[in-house]
């Protein structure tokens, strides 16, 4: 039922990964049910089918990987919309069963992308340990919990779920790495504007001409709409047809973003709206919402509209 807050959540599994950790940062999900899915496609399809109210899936992550799948799944099939983003620091830990001293560790289970991210730490602290590839961070923690490996590289939530002790935390070579997740639902009225929102779009243009992309950016630029992300992907359908995934500052309810969206609708082969949602708030409050540029606030739009009305009726004086 539209407007009803979601209670049944699905997330990209398995349990004990960063996706679950991100989902649990949402109060409604902490209270509701949380079911792992085997893949992004499976998670989204369970929302489409009505088996879940919302799915938490990765959009971007500095480990590389799932972004493409999520974007492609969002761009095809029945429409879905993002209603919330969650950005999580990717803080890998080295975890082991209680009372395992670091020097005793001979085998470390890790997803290959996780061990890649922690290469420096492993070289410095466990130069002789054998790294065993496993399928996910959650599987690494589970394996260490069962005693199959001496230790695991995993998410903090994986360590606690499998009753492991954290021997070292923040072991990734890039301590600032983050993963950005999206909470995705069936279409409905977007969350109300907060003054600091993002809007995601899939924009199709007919050719890979720089001129076509320039036209898209000009539609945004003249309305003062900033891009925070742009990614091109060739579409499977036909050679020479491109889709651009854009994240723009602003909300579909804003006048200027609305005008920009209409412009894209007119000049592009197709535009799919992927949702307007509040931008992630950082506790440390580093980033501030960007105010509308001069001449582009809703007040400026209202002034210009009133002026146009006067022009059209001839009341210039």
Residues 277-296 that bind its own copies (CB under 8 A): 286-287, 295-296
Looking at residue 39, what DSSP letter applies?
S
The total number of residues shown for the chain amounts to: 317
* By the rule CB under 8 A, 259 interacts with its own copies: yes
Are the CB atoms for 121 and 172 separated by under 8 Å? yes
> Which among 46, 50, 44, 51 is positioned nearest to 81, based on CA atoms?
44
Interface with its own copies in residues 166-205 (CB under 8 A): 174, 176-177, 187-190
* By the rule CB under 8 A, 258 interacts with its own copies: yes
Select from 30, 209, 289, 291 the one that contacts its own copies (CB under 8 A).
209
Interface with its own copies in residues 101-130 (CB under 8 A): 112-113, 115-116, 119
Are the CB atoms for 187 and 275 separated by under 8 Å? no
How far is 156 from 98, CA to CA, in rounded Å? 15
Q: Provide the minimum distance between the beta carbon of 165 and its own copies in the complex, in angstroms, as a whole number.
A: 26
Determine how β-strand 227-234 pairs with β-strand 242-249: antiparallel
Axis-axis angle for helices 210-221, 255-267 (nearest 10)? 160
Give the range of 20-28, 101-109, 156-164, 239-247 binding its own copies by CB under 8 A: 239-247
Q: Provide the minimum distance between the beta carbon of 98 and its own copies in the complex, in angstroms, as a whole number.
A: 28
Give the range of 18-26, 97-105, 144-152, 254-262 binding its own copies by CB under 8 A: 254-262
How far is 253 from 184, CA to CA, in rounded Å? 19
* By the rule CB under 8 A, 206 interacts with its own copies: no
Residue with tokens 């429409």: 79
Name the residue nearer to its own copies (CB basis): 30 or 206.
206
Give the range of 38-46, 95-103, 140-148, 156-164 binding its own copies by CB under 8 A: 38-46
Window 58-77: contact mask with its own copies (x via CB under 8 A): ---xxxxxxxxxx-x-----
Q: Provide the minimum distance between the beta carbon of 44 and its own copies in the complex, in angstroms, as a whole number.
A: 11
* By the rule CB under 8 A, 133 interacts with its own copies: yes
* By the rule CB under 8 A, 141 interacts with its own copies: no
Determine how β-strand 93-96 pairs with β-strand 54-61: unpaired
Are the CB atoms for 140 and 149 separated by under 8 Å? yes
Are the CB atoms for 45 and 35 separated by under 8 Å? no
* By the rule CB under 8 A, 301 interacts with its own copies: yes
């Amino acid at each position: 039922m539209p407007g009803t807050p979601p209670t049944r959540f699905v997330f990209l599994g398995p349990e004990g990964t960063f996706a679950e950790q991100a989902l649990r940062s949402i109060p409604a999900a902490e209270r509701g049910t949380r079911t792992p899915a085997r893949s992004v496609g499976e998670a989204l399809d369970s929302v489409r089918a009505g088996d879940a109210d919302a799915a938490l899936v990765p959009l971007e992550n500095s480990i590389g990987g799932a972004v493409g799948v999520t974007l492609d799944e969002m761009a095809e099939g029945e429409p879905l919309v993002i209603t919330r983003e969650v950005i999580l620091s990717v803080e890998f830990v080295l975890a082991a069963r209680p009372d395992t001293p670091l020097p005793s560790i001979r085998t470390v289970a890790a997803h290959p992308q996780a061990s890649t991210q922690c290469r420096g730490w492993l070289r410095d602290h466990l130069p002789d340990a054998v790294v065993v590839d496993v399928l996910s961070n959650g599987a690494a923690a589970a394996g260490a919990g069962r005693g199959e490996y001496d230790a695991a590289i995993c998410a903090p939530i994986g360590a606690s779920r499998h009753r492991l002790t954290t021997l070292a935390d923040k072991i990734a070579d890039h301590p600032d790495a983050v993963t950005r997740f999206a909470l995705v639902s069936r279409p409905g009225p977007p969350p109300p504007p907060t003054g600091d929102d993002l809007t995601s779009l899939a924009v199709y243009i007919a050719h890979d001409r720089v001129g076509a992309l320039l036209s898209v950016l000009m539609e945004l630029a003249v309305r003062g709409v900033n891009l925070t992300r742009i990614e091109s992907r060739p579409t499977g359908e036909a050679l020479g047809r491109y889709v651009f995934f854009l994240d723009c500052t602003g909300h579909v309810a804003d006048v200027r973003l609305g005008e920009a969206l209409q412009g894209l609708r007119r000049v592009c082969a197709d535009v799919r709206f992927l949702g307007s949602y509040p931008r992630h708030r950082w506790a440390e409050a580093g980033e501030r919402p960007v105010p509308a540029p001069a001449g582009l606030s809703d007040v400026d739009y209202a002034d210009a509209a009133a002026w146009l009305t006067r022009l059209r009726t001839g009341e210039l004086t």
